[in-house]
Amino acid sequence: MLTRYGYDNAIPMLIIGFSLILLAAFVFTNLISWLSVGLGFIIIFFTLWFFRDPVRTVPESALNDHSMIIAPADGKVVEIVEIEEQEFFKGKALQVSIFLSPLDVHVNRSPVSGPVTFYRYMQGDYMVAWHPKASELNEQSRIGVQTPFGKVLFKQITGVLARRIVCTVKEGDTLTTGEQIGMMKFGSRMDIILPLDADILVQKDQRTRGGETLLATLKK
């Protein structure tokens, strides 16, 4: 199933892919036809793969216990560091960063339940998403949620290839753990920022599945 966040890109790409195949059948000949068919199938396959929206089952423990944080995206954990976060936490916090390659599922989900008390979209650069400075300098949306056990901030961050962020969240919304909140197109990064006393349940280089992997727990 294709994600609704990608219709504006996926439908034109699929039309181009099928058009190349049809042109090869009725217009082109010989080598050009084979090249056209091959390119058409590559475009179709990449579109269906990149904009896929697989079913995910949020752990019951995370739905029932709002101190539990789940991964908001598929990808690889590239950083677990202590940072200074002055916009929402206004002090020291823990940051877990997940890098999404173009082959990962790019639909993003809320890692927590609670009201959105902070939202900001920030224009910026397009550094490689795994670079530590990408968290501060790249284009991004920042979503802050006040859970019953403390604040949680998560960021959708663009990379070199990612040039568009889709975010359906606004300040005043109430999110549910695992709820879809948008996507980042063509490779990107997500940062999850937690209180210093949060228990981190993942390790660097570990793979995560958005909506399913338990990322951390907040102190009760």
Token readout for 107 is 């639909």
- Is the pLDDT higher at 186 or at 40? 40
Q: State how many domains the chain has.
A: 2
State pLDDT tens for residues 117-138: 999 998 877 666 666 666 777 8
* Mean pLDDT value of segment 167-193: 92
At residue 28, the pLDDT reads: 65
Angle at 157 between CA 60 and CA 108, to 5 degrees: 25
At residue 34, the pLDDT reads: 83
DSSP 138: B
- Structural domain of 31: 4-50
In a shared domain, residues 15 and 120: no
Q: Give the β-pairing of 91-100 and 75-85.
A: antiparallel
Is residue 98 in a domain?
A: yes
Residue 74 has pLDDT above 90, yes or no: yes
In a shared domain, residues 121 and 197: yes
In a shared domain, residues 106 and 185: yes
Share of the chain above pLDDT 90, in %: 67
Cα distance between residue 151 and residue 2, in whole Å: 32
In a shared domain, residues 32 and 84: no
pTM score: 0.87
**Which residues have a catalytic role annotated?**
188
In a shared domain, residues 95 and 127: yes
In a shared domain, residues 22 and 67: no
Sheet containing strand 91-100, strands side by side: 174-175, 114-122, 140-147, 150-158, 188-194, 91-100, 75-85, 207-208
In a shared domain, residues 78 and 172: yes
At residue 6, the pLDDT reads: 82
